């Protein structure tokens, strides 16, 4: 399914883009369903906030239990000093995670598309397993920064295998906080491990290599419907969104079932099935 040029880009640069991977109808379905989930969500916790400025999730039962649920998280700047929302609730949610692909029928149907299984086959994933899904809003005016990181930090396997499927639900631009990547950065070391022992979370430093900056990283401005696939060691980032436009996206993290998924990873499949895409014939022997 992927062209030789796309496969070469994934190998050399650590990422590739696939335009029109989601149809206009699919984009509309996902946006509508995400809005419905937010409208129906009953905040029964103490204002759960998602931020990458502090990765200490020790004792954060709402976050840790979200691994196999559908949970909403507020933007880090959603509340003022008095604890009041600074803008409408529907424009204050950072993301929905982390089991949309398994628990919501609309998201599940799109997530398991045969097309994405064919892409996994082209990328050499022998036994694709969807580990996590997130719907990210990148809200207007208060959309939070996502620091430079590598997804293998959070989905560690031996050998490393995680591939991220990042779908632009709306046009992603420099103005509204598009992705940035470091081309060929996946050839460098894995810098950190996000590890869990019971409810204790630690971020273990593996390598002191500096993170990229605006000189070594490049922005990926893509149109709605585009899929960006990138390798688990590829450093990536997105800036805060201070524009009046959201930058909605949907992500899947896919590991290879032929590898050893670390028991120290924060996200484990304990109650839900661990499945891939809607085609049995793509497994590589």
Q: In the block, which residue shows the tokens 């369903």? A: 33
Mean pLDDT of the 105-113 span: 97
Q: What is the pLDDT of residue 284?
A: 45
Chain centroid, CA 210 distance in Å: 22
Mean of the per-residue pLDDT values for the chain?
94
Model confidence at 60, in pLDDT bands (50, 70, 90)?
A: confident
pLDDT of 222 over the 70 cut = yes
Mean pLDDT of the 198-215 span: 95
The torsion defined by the Cα of 123, 128, 129 and 132, in degrees rounded to 10, comes to 20
Query: How far apart are the C-alpha atoms of 224 and 166, rounded to whole Å?
Result: 11
Domains along the chain with CATH numbers: 4-81+89-268 (2.60.120.620)
Mean pLDDT of the 173-199 span: 97
Q: What is the pLDDT of residue 254?
A: 98
Q: What is the pLDDT of residue 57?
A: 65
Q: What is the pLDDT of residue 214?
A: 87
Q: What is the pLDDT of residue 58?
A: 67
Q: What is the pLDDT of residue 54?
A: 64
Do 228 and 166 meet the contact criterion of CB atoms below 8 Å apart?
yes
pLDDT of 285 over the 60 cut = no
Do 241 and 112 meet the contact criterion of CB atoms below 8 Å apart?
no
Q: Could you tell me whether strands 260-261 and 163-168 are parallel, antiparallel, or unpaired per DSSP bridges?
A: unpaired
Mean pLDDT of the 245-274 span: 97
Start-to-end CA span in the chain (Å): 19
Q: What is the pLDDT of residue 105?
A: 98
Do 166 and 22 meet the contact criterion of CB atoms below 8 Å apart?
no
Structure-token pair, residue 273:
């099935």
pLDDT of 1 over the 90 cut = no
Task: For residue 264, report the phi and psi dihedrals to the nearest 5 degrees.
Answer: -90, -5
Q: What is the pLDDT of residue 50?
A: 77
């Amino acid at each position: 399914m992927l062209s030789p040029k796309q496969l070469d880009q994934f190998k050399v640069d650590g990422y590739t883009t696939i335009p029109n991977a989601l149809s206009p109808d699919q984009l509309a379905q996902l946006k509508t369903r995400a809005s419905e989930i937010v409208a129906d969500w009953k905040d029964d916790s103490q204002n759960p906030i998602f931020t990458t400025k502090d990765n200490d999730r020790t004792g954060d039962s709402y976050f840790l239990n979200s691994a196999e649920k559908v949970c909403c998280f507020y933007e880090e700047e959603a509340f003022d000093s008095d604890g009041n929302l600074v803008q409408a609730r529907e424009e204050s949610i950072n993301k929905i995670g982390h089991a949309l692909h398994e628990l919501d029928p609309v998201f599940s149907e799109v997530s398991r598309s045969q097309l994405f299984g064919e892409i996994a086959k082209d990328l050499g994933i022998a036994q694709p397993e969807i580990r996590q899904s997130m719907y990210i809003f990148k809200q207007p005016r208060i959309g939070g920064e996502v620091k430079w990181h590598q997804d293998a930090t959070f989905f560690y396997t031996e050998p490393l295998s995680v591939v991220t499927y990042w779908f632009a639900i709306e046009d992603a631009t420099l103005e509204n906080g598009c992705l940035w990547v470091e081309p060929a950065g996946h050839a460098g070391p894995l810098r950190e491990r996000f590890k869990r022992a019971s409810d204790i979370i630690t971020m273990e430093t593996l390598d002191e290599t500096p993170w990229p900056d605006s000189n070594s990283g490049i922005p990926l401005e893509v149109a709605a419907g585009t899929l960006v696939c990138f390798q688990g060691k590829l450093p990536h980032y997105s800036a805060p969104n201070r524009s009046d436009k959201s930058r909605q996206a949907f992500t899947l993290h896919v590991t290879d079932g032929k590898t050893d998924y670390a028991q120290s990873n924060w996200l484990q499949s304990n109650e839900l099935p661990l499945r891939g895409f809607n085609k049995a014939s793509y497994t590589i022997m």
